[in-house]
Structure 1
Amino acid sequence: MSVNSPPIDFYGLIREGDLVVCGQATAEPVTLTEALMAQAARLPPFRMMIGPVFSETFPASCATNVSFQSYGVIGNARRLARSGRLDVIPSNYSAFCADFAVRRHKADVVLVQLAQARDGRLSASLSNDYVIDAARAGRLVIAEINPDAPFTFGAEWPEGVPIHMRVAARRSPVELASTPPDDVSRRIAAHAASLIVDGSTLQFGVGRIPDAILSSLSHLRHLGIHSGLINDAVVDLIACGAVTNAEKGIDPGITVTNQVIGTQRLYRFVHENEAVAVRPTSYTHGQSVLARINRLVAINSALQVGLDGSVNSETLNGVAIGAIGGQLDFVRGANASPGGRAVIALPATASDGTSRIVAHVETVTTPRADVDAIVTEWGIAELRGCGLAERARRMIAIAAPEHRDALSAQLRGT
């Protein structure tokens, strides 16, 4: 096969109406997905299920006979959403994954990136999400074996799940570098860090603010990690001794995650590292598991927060630009955890200068009854146990100063 020839010919493999599921985020099998998109115009119409996209694989201009679905709009999936080509399934991430296990979602073709150990064992490597359950029922499972993908424990490919075709990867796994902090994210991080104590267990997402918060925790000790993802900042916290996973209450000494999203530095760290477990969503996001963790601090973001504490992480002006993701799973898990905290951290203003603290959110991702602490660069609003009037007062206090009078007027109805 020449370098320029396709790694696989999808003609005859993809049938009309097929649902094609591929690995998400850094687990995307780019050799396969790029080949599929390049050939899509000559294939019968099919549907593509994607998650967060950090590659350049799915441009808005791709073949019109492909329709796209996802549980949210994250990363470069926003291009498809802006062009009206992405149908969003409004589902908690844990429920979305579980729907593949019970075959509410049923894949026809599954494309997956795998790592192979020296003894031949295979691992789903960078993500232990819905792909394995999708493959159990798939008509055709095609694996991209990537020598640069780390072999991770907890994500071993089950022997009973068939792989019908294998191809050699032509690209290293997708990488996502941390975003350098700016002044606003540093100020948010300083407030959020005050809620985190020695022995806390951390959950966090992707982005500038969680990266800034993690980078401000090196002075703490005996932190643990039980998260939907880990990134390069976790390597730093382990190296400086802040993270030991010694006081989590479960999985002592083990960093637990569902996805690995970072650079080759992180991938080398997790490769064959028995102190890291890439576990399925039923474990990483399971309420019965999260409730057993000591001092779980869930750090999540939002697009808007209302004066009553309701959180919107999904839409602005009626357009989907975010996701439910694991936010509600972890907020409720942190609330059930002994000593846990559920933190929603966001800038007080959007890039266009409008307030992200609003009278009423347009979409409720996390209900006000579940909200604990809201953090902006202007401070912390402790909302748990507060009445609506006191919540509004505290929320206005952490809005940008130039928006506080307008928010107060909206509250009075004047």
Structure 2
Amino acid sequence: MTQRFDSLGAAVDVLLARIPGPIVLGLPLGIGKPNPFVNALYRRIKADPTRRLAIVTALSLEKPSGKSELEQAFLAPLVERVFRDYPDFDYVKDLRGPGLPPNIEVREFFMKTGDYLHNTAAQQHYISTNYTFAARDLVGQGINVVAQAVAERWQDGVQQFSLSSNPDLTAELVERCAAAGRPLLKIAVINRQMPFMEGEAVVAPDFFDAVVDCPEGTHTLFAPPNGKISTTDYAIGLHASSLVQDGGTLQIGIGSLGDAIAQALILRDQQGETYRQMLATLCPDGLGNRELGRFAEGLYGCSEMFVNGLLQLMQAGIVRRRVFDDLATQLAVNEGKLDPATLPGGVCMTGGFFLGPGSFYQALRDLTPEQRAQIDMTRIDAINRLDAHGGAAMDLKRAQRRKAAFMNTTMKVTLLGAAASDALEDGRVVSGVGGQYNFVAMAHALPDARSILMLRATKETADGPVSNIVYRYGHCTIPRHLRDVVITEYGVAELRGCSDAEIVKRLLAITDSRFQDELIKEAKQHGKLEDDWQLPERYRHNTPQELDAKLHPFTEQGLLPGFPFGTDLTPDELKIVAALRRLKKATQNPVELVKLAMKAFWEGKEAPPAYLERLGLDEAQGFKAMFIRKLFAGNL
């Protein structure tokens, strides 16, 4: 029988009484964690060294704070406005600061990108696993408690719960523990900010052993603001959008690159001629092999992560191809024997978890019942694996996921086609494998699907730009035998089924031109290119300046806005952010910094008083503070 609690403390009391030994607490990734409950339990265990607690989870989110004094001063009012009463995790604060107490440890299988590169405790306790194996591995870690934030509704006098943002692993965890004969205490904490999502996310109240309904349980959801889409992102997004087939299936990710793809798809559908003009400027080999038409049939969204870009595509009428849970029906629809418009049911979007800006959550809360029914939030094994539930389920997925374009980002690609997406070559983890390997493998298992890996051609470092296409790398997430399509801002490299020499040539064609000669030399030294081979001249102009010149006219026309789906930042904040980014980039290059400083002092510019007050520079004293003040003004 489900127990009801109106306080966090009472629920923690019961948990400690029910499990007298070590507690292994499983938490959903992202926003599905019940933060206040986790903090209450953590504080209780921290104060009692006789008890032990292991937290096994992924993506523990915390409010941004900034690294420099300028960043901290700028972020403080923004964070207060956007994140409001979102409670950070005590275990994250301790992990970043003084360290966890000896009786508590945290193990994550996906970390906030780049945030723990220099944190030895986080690096040592990281669990490398595919997303589809996470539930299995959580059981292997000895999980005996799972706690989750849920949405609640009353319908016809009956209370219902929704796993909302995270039906991804919970049901599978419950099944696996039951099959192994392991007791699992299941705790739900109602958060009335969570959107109530349908599909497999809906569970009966007795699914949980304990339900906590208290004021502290409801709080603002973690909502990262939309990132600004750069020229580089738009170029990648335009290339990627031209590989999406009408009537197909789409997966994209979060962030500015995902938004760039969504905006490019909307442009393709709504402004076809202009879209073709933009793409033509980016394609030295022409548009002969690209998809350029409108979406007459629409797309089916099938993505482990349901992101704002996919919702925008739903609202634009592009993600609208419904799929059905009956194989005969789906096959008849695919063959044109049944008109899906005449059929009841079906969904056009399937997701395992979601994360996005505050406007995204509000849009989900505002969906009509008919719109909400189009979205199936479900288990991650059902999304990321074709073979998760037997042959009949696999046949159905193959019928639903026709002409799929599975798009993922990566950090490095070798000239032979391997990709590193989760860690550096020294072993330090940047983020995690997540479901990337699953989708790459699935693209090869489906007859007409493609795995599309996207990366920016270069990365800025303290020593200047470096190429993200390299001859070799000491770590890989996607092995070279699963190479398929790679995209940079300079083009598309089709690698599937190609010889090593051809793969090298195709990747060199989309490499930043500042690094092509060095890579050609190394490839020839290792016998992967003919000694007399020359890179065609049309690929010799891959530079940021050339790229900007090609897309600048379209940017000026307002077709490639920095924030096509809105932003939480005010116009003044956007100006400050742009100046701070330029200043931060300059600090990585001493020569550039000196040039900027001389220019700022020579021109005698001053920033608006409100900007200086926001950054704590309005009463700058001393050479360093005045120097920063002048640099900031010079970068506005």
TM norm structure 1: 0.89
Q: Cα–Cα, structure 1 residues 16 and 235, in superposed 2: closer, same or farther, change >3 Å?
A: same
d(CA) in 1 for partners of 2:431, 2:524: 31
Paired position in structure 2 for 1:327: 436
- Cα RMSD (Å): 2.6
Is the helix fraction higher in 1 or 2?
A: 2
Asked whether 1:73 is paired with 2:118, we answer no
- SS of 1:320 mapped into structure 2: coil
In the alignment, the residues of structure 2 paired with residue 172 and residue 190 of structure 1 have an alpha-carbon distance, to the nearest angstrom, of 34
Cα distance in 2, alignment partners of residues 408 and 74 from structure 1: 35
- Does residue 1:127 correspond to 2:166, yes or no? yes
User: How is 1:300-315 mapped onto 2 (pairs within 5 angstroms)?
Assistant: 300-315=408-423
Give the match for residue 258 of structure 1: 352
The partner residue of 1:97 within 135, 144, 149 is: 135
The verdict on how the C-alpha distance between 1:38 and 1:407 changes in structure 2, with shifts beyond 3 A counting, is: farther
Deviations 1:107-128 (Å, cap 9, x if unpaired)?
1222210111113111111111
Shift of the 37–126 alpha-carbon distance from structure 1 to 2, 3 Å rule, reads: same
Q: Is the 8 A contact 2:116 2:430 kept in 1?
A: no
Q: 2:239 & 2:186 partners in 1: Cα distance?
A: 47
Say whether residues 1:386 and 2:533 are aligned partners. no
The answer on whether the counterparts of 1:15 and 1:46 sit within 8 Å (CA) in structure 2 is no
Return closer, same or farther for 1:36/1:63 CA change in 2, 3 Å cut-off.
farther
1:37-186 matched pairs, under 5 angstroms = 37-43=42-48, 44-55=51-62, 56-57=88-89, 58-59=92-93, 60-61=96-97, 63-65=100-102, 66-75=104-113, 78-80=114-116, 82-86=118-122, 87-100=125-138, 103-118=139-154, 119-135=158-174, 137=177, 138-153=183-198, 154-157=200-203, 161-168=207-214, 169-186=217-234
Contact 1:6 1:35 (C-alpha < 8 Å) held by counterparts: no
Q: Once structures 1 and 2 are overlaid, which stretch shifts more, 206-215 or 375-384?
A: 206-215
- Answer whether contact 1:347 1:376 (CA < 8 A) is retained: yes
Q: AA paired with 1:263?
A: P
Distance 2:373 2:323 in 1: 18
Q: Does 2:384 align with 1:275?
A: no
Moved over 6 A (4+): none
In structure 1, the partner of 2:457 is 348
Which sits farther off after the overlay, 390-399 or 269-278?
269-278
Query: CA offset at residue 247 of structure 1?
Result: 7.1
Residue 204, structure 1, aligned to residue 303, structure 2: no
The 1:412–1:130 alpha-carbon spacing in structure 2 relative to 1, beyond 3 Å, is same
Instruction: Give the alignment partner of residue 297 of structure 1, picking from 398, 405, 408.
Output: 405
Q: What code does the residue aligned with 1:174 have?
A: F
Asked whether 1:242 is paired with 2:285, we answer no
Please state whether the residue corresponding to 2:265 is helix, strand or coil.
coil
Please, which of 261, 265, 271 is the counterpart of residue 217 of structure 1?
265
Q: Does 1:284 align with 2:391?
A: no
Q: Report the CA distance shift for 1:114/1:81 in structure 2 as closer, same or farther (over 3 A).
A: farther
Residue 229 (structure 1) shift: 1.2
- 1:105, distance to aligned residue in structure 2 (A): 4.0
The structure with the largest alpha-carbon Rg is: 2
Q: Is the 8 A contact 1:204 1:210 kept in 2?
A: yes
After superposing the two structures, state which structure 1 stretch, 380-389 or 17-26, moved more.
Answer: 17-26
Compared with structure 1, are the counterparts of its residues 281 and 381 closer, same or farther at alpha carbon in structure 2 (3 Å cutoff)? same
Instruction: Answer whether contact 2:24 2:54 (CA < 8 A) is retained.
Output: yes
Q: Does 1:406 align with 2:514?
A: no
Cα offset, 1:194, TM superposition: 1.4
Contact 1:146/1:173, CA 8 A, preserved across alignment: no
Q: Describe the superposition over 1:12-61 as per-residue Cα deviations: whole angstroms up to 9, x where unpaired.
A: 45755421111211212122233344445214332111212333422322
| SS state at 1:390 partner | helix
Q: Distance in 2 between matches of 1:392 and 1:8?
A: 60
Q: Which runs of 5+ in 1 are unaligned?
A: none
Task: Give 1:189 deviation, angstroms.
Answer: 0.9
* SS of equivalent residue, structure 2 residue 128: coil
**Structure 1 residue 319 displacement after superposition:** 0.8
| Count, aligned residues | 406
**In 2, distance between residues paired with 1:82 and 1:331?**
29
- Residue identity (%): 21
